[in-house]
């Protein structure tokens, strides 16, 4: 065993030394040395790109990593949650507020599509901690095909006043002959590409880098008026004046796939490649003889299961992660011989979570009546999204339970849908698959937690709300004074067994369909108790809201304030997940009020995997009953005398 370890260490040393002929050279990156990486990231799309880049780095790495993310508030919210829930050992992440840096670079007119954020690499000497000596700076559209430690080792090759490690630009841009009257910024020969930069921060600070680039930018802007390639133009103008600053990296550290490149001249063979840079908004459509290889590499990391990257770095002392330690403690307290161990374990599983997977834009209405529809789904219910969007024009918060590969399928589906692309007020939060159960209540909690309106309509993905429900609920919020009272407004639920339904446009039309047998009250055939207390007989003729009392197994769909209790995570898969929530609302003395002119209709679909498991697996049903009893005991501990009725109701039912 020991001998094998030695061999792999020698191999690693050879790789890190940089494939050079200097065979006797010692590895220049220590085994547990932390590698620092800085990335500027703003907005929803760039956050998705960062994840793919990070996966490619994690896949090959053997060293602790410290990511320095210069992010706007959107990217910080997304990536902070992602890294916290990813829980990758020996990875640290720090955020720096990009919005606070805007004033440093906003005076520079920039025509590049990256906008103001494309200039922020210029201020890293000021932004990053004063004691940080060196850093690798990466664009978000980068994929690693090797261990990043090899690149970190290149710092040791810097000599004299070299403070920037850059690869030559592989396009003809700076040669200035791409079209008539094309005037690029000044550059040394072909210029350098800033998609990958090695920055020797301590030396740059001593050289007064800040003044150097500012003076250069001011001087050049007098003639150029704006930058075309953001920070890259300014870096090149500085280098043109001070060529000694650059250590030229071999081109395989930044193989550029934009439209005008000669990147193929850079490498003989794909085995030479170390970093691929998709530096074109068109990404995968560039013309290059190896483009299939590049595309496959990119797609591999796009769809790679991020959970597999949580592997430990052996032999390196890692900073104790409090979350990870708490989790281990909770898991160690469980009894592995318990027949319901898998169920109990599930509530402690930390699922990697990517919030706002697509662009989201919504300002809640100022009248304080706004309502968000909340639901969760997996891949097999994707076809419901367009229909719901047609029925509900208000904001939506969705949690999607997907694998990494499914998340990419979802992205293609959404981007190919005119209906979904026409809606910016739908927030899609991806919770990545892990474990053997469908974590239904965790998903609901994720969707609820990111509601930005004062009220939420807690629905399910296989229901279509009546047309106009959004406006009706907002009026009801005022009418029933939900701001100052604890109320849960019930939207009565119906179902159809027909796949093609002419959706009723009014309550009168719905009642006649009910009489004709094309519609039924929800679960009428299999689980009447779930919705019986709604009192459908009364609803038929009701013209004003009416109160109903809680009964055992009641699970209506409700509109509540955003501060209502969370769902209980112990209930996974099928059974009791909503019942427990409604019971808790009742224990907290919410009034249940049925809305007389509201309705929603359940659309038919194949049974879920979990309901099949519930029906076919006796152990599953036994564990569900155990969890139910434990929940009720917890309720009586938490709510005392008020909760006793749940135990008696259960015994009578």
pLDDT digits (tens, 9 = 90+) for 289-347: 667 777 888 888 989 999 999 988 877 776 656 667 777 777 766 777 777 878 888 88
Burial (0-12, 13-18, 19+ Cβ within 10 Å), 514: middle
pTM above 0.85, yes or no: yes
135 three-state secondary structure: strand
Q: Where are the beta strands (DSSP E) in 281-394?
A: 353-354, 371-378
Pairing, β 353-354 against β 371-378:
unpaired
At 266-282, the pLDDT tens digits run 665 666 789 988 865 44
pLDDT of residue 610: 61
Of 37, 51, 27, give the one whose Cα is nearest residue 197: 37
Burial (0-12, 13-18, 19+ Cβ within 10 Å), 319: exposed
399: alpha, beta or left? (left if phi > 0; alpha if psi -120 to 50): beta
Q: Which residues of 229-239 are buried (b: 16+ CB within 10 A; e: fewer)?
A: bbbbbbbbbbb
Low-confidence stretches of the chain (pLDDT < 50) are: 1-24, 281-284, 652-653
Check: CB of residue 162 under 8 Å from CB of residue 151.
no
HEC string of 368-424 equals CCCEEEEEEEEHHHCCHHHHHHHHCCCCEEEEEEECHHHHHHHHHHHHCCHHHHCCC
pLDDT of residue 278: 81
Check: CB of residue 438 under 8 Å from CB of residue 378.
yes
Check: CB of residue 142 under 8 Å from CB of residue 195.
yes
Count of all residues that appear for the chain in the document: 653
Cβ neighbours of residue 3 under 8 Å, at least 6 residues apart? none
336: alpha, beta or left? (left if phi > 0; alpha if psi -120 to 50): alpha
520-521, strands of its sheet edge to edge: 463-465, 600-602, 493-495, 520-521
pLDDT of residue 23: 44
pLDDT of residue 358: 96
pLDDT of residue 608: 58
Angle at 621 between CA 443 and CA 592, to 5 degrees: 55
The first and second tokens of residue 296, run together, are 């496959």
174 three-state secondary structure: helix
DSSP string computed for 2-69:
HHHHHHHHHHHHHHHTTS-S-TTPPPSS-TTPPEEEEEEE-HHHHHHHHHHHHHHHHHH--S-EEEEE
Cβ neighbours of residue 13 under 8 Å, at least 6 residues apart? 26, 27
Burial (0-12, 13-18, 19+ Cβ within 10 Å), 647: middle
At 179-199, the pLDDT tens digits run 667 788 899 989 999 999 999
Burial (0-12, 13-18, 19+ Cβ within 10 Å), 308: exposed
Q: What is the dihedral of CA 283, 285, 289, 295, to 10 degrees?
A: 60
Of 463, 499, 460, give the one whose Cα is nearest residue 604: 499
Between CA 368 and CA 483 the distance in angstroms is 9
pLDDT of residue 281: 45
Helix axis angle, 43-60 to 291-303, nearest 10°: 100
Strand partners for 373: 396, 457
Cβ neighbours of residue 349 under 8 Å, at least 6 residues apart? 434, 435, 439
Of 362, 380, 382, 379, give the one whose Cα is nearest residue 371: 362
What are the φ/ψ torsions at residue 226 (nearest 5 degrees)?
-160, 165
């Amino acid at each position: 065993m020991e001998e094998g370890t030695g061999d792999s260490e020698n191999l690693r040393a050879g790789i890190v030394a940089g494939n050079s002929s200097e065979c006797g050279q010692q590895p220049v990156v220590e085994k547990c040395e932390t590698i620092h990486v800085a990335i500027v990231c703003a907005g929803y799309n760039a956050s998705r790109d960062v994840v793919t880049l990070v996966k490619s780095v994690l896949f090959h790495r053997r060293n602790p990593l410290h990511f320095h993310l210069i992010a706007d508030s959107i990217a910080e919210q997304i990536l902070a949650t992602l890294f916290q829930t990813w829980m990758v050992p020996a990875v640290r992440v720090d955020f720096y507020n990009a919005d606070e840096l805007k004033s440093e670079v906003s005076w520079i007119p920039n025509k590049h599509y990256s906008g103001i954020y494309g200039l922020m690499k210029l201020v890293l000497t000021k932004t990053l901690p004063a004691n940080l000596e060196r850093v690798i700076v990466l664009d978000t559209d980068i994929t690693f095909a090797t261990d990043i430690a090899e690149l970190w080792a290149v710092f040791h090759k810097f000599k004299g006043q070299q403070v920037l490690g850059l690869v030559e630009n592989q396009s003809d841009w700076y040669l200035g002959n791409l079209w008539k009257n094309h005037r690029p910024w000044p550059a040394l020969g072909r210029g350098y590409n800033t998609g990958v930069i090695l920055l020797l921060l301590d030396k740059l600070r001593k050289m007064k880098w800040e003044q150097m680039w500012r003076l250069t930018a001011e001087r050049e802007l007098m003639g150029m008026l704006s930058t075309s390639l953001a920070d890259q133009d300014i870096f090149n103008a500085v280098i043109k004046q001070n060529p000694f600053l650059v250590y030229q990296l071999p081109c395989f550290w930044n193989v550029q796939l934009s439209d005008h490149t000669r990147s193929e001249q850079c490498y003989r063979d794909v085995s030479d490649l170390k970093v691929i840079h998709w530096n074109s908004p068109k990404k995968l459509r560039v013309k290059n003889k190896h483009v299939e290889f590049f595309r496959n590499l990119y797609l591999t990391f796009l769809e790679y299961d991020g959970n597999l990257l949580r592997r430990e770095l052996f032999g390196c002392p890692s900073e104790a992660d409090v979350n990870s330690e708490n989790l281990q403690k909770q898991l160690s307290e469980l009894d592995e011989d318990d027949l319901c161990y898998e169920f109990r374990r599930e509530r402690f599983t930390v699922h990697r979570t990517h919030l706002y997977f697509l662009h989201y834009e919504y300002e809640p209405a100022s009248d304080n009546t706004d309502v968000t529809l909340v639901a969760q789904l997996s891949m097999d219910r994707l076809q419901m999204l367009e229909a719901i969007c047609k029925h509900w024009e208000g904001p939506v918060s969705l949690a999607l339970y997907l694998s990494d590969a499914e998340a990419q399928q979802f992205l293609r589906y959404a981007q190919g849908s005119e209906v979904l692309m026409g809606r910016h007020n739908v927030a899609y939060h991806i919770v990545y698959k892990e474990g053997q159960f469908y974590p239904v209540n965790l998903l609901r909690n994720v969707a609820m937690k990111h509601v930005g309106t004062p009220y939420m309509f807690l629905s399910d993905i296989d229901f279509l709300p009546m047309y106009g429900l959004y406006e009706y609920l907002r009026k009801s919020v005022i009418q029933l004074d939900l701001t100052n009272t604890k109320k849960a407004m019930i939207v009565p639920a119906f179902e159809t067994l027909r796949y093609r339904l002419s959706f009723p446009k009014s309550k009168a039309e719905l009642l006649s369909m009910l009489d004709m047998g094309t519609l039924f009250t929800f679960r009428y055939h299999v689980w009447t108790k779930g919705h019986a207390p709604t009192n459908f007989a009364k609803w038929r003729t009701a013209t004003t809201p009416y109160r109903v009392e809680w009964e055992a197994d009641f699970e209506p769909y409700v509109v509540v304030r955003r501060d209502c209790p969370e769902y209980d995570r112990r209930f996974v898969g099928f059974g009791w997940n909503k019942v427990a929530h409604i019971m808790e609302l009742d224990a907290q003395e919410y009034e249940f009020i049925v809305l007389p002119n509201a309705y929603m209709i359940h659309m038919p679909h194949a049974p879920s995997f979990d309901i099949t498991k519930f029906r076919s697996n006796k152990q599953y049903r036994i564990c569900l009953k155990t969890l139910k009893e434990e929940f009720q005991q917890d309720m009586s501990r938490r709510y005392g005398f008020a909760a006793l009725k749940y135990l008696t109701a259960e015994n009578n039912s």
